[in-house]
Structure 1
Amino acid sequence: MDFEAITPEQMRVSLAPVLGEGPAAGVAGLYQAMSTLPDHAISPENSAQKLLGITPRTTRQWLTDIGL
């Protein structure tokens, strides 16, 4: 999976056909507000993985665990 950053406006446009213009604008507003926060990204130091002392399963492990 690759992450491709998009703007809040691009998010609004992509969500509007599915959610409607009002909810899509609300989501875009949330994304815009979050973009101004200094600590909105998950760093290795504050990741759930590190804080909980866990290691996520690989895709292969997950598929095996669910019987596929």
Structure 2
Amino acid sequence: MTTPEYAPRLRARREVEEALAHDAAERGWDREVERHRCTSERIERLLADLSQPINAAAEEDGSSA
């Protein structure tokens, strides 16, 4: 079971997935782009389920993004 304490690690993983999706897009690897974006979206849903912001800046501001 994932808890809110795990949110920083989820955010970090999401950033990695977004970077990998961007790199794959630049290389024209459409299937890899889709795979990384799906993982990123799943992480976003986990964060939403935990009532946690998607990015660390929103957490520091006290807002939810």
Same fold (TM over 0.5): no
**Structure having the larger proportion of residues in helix:** 2
Task: Flag the structure with larger Rg.
Answer: 1
Q: Could you tell me the TM-score, scaled by structure 2's length?
A: 0.30
TM normalised by structure 1 equals: 0.29
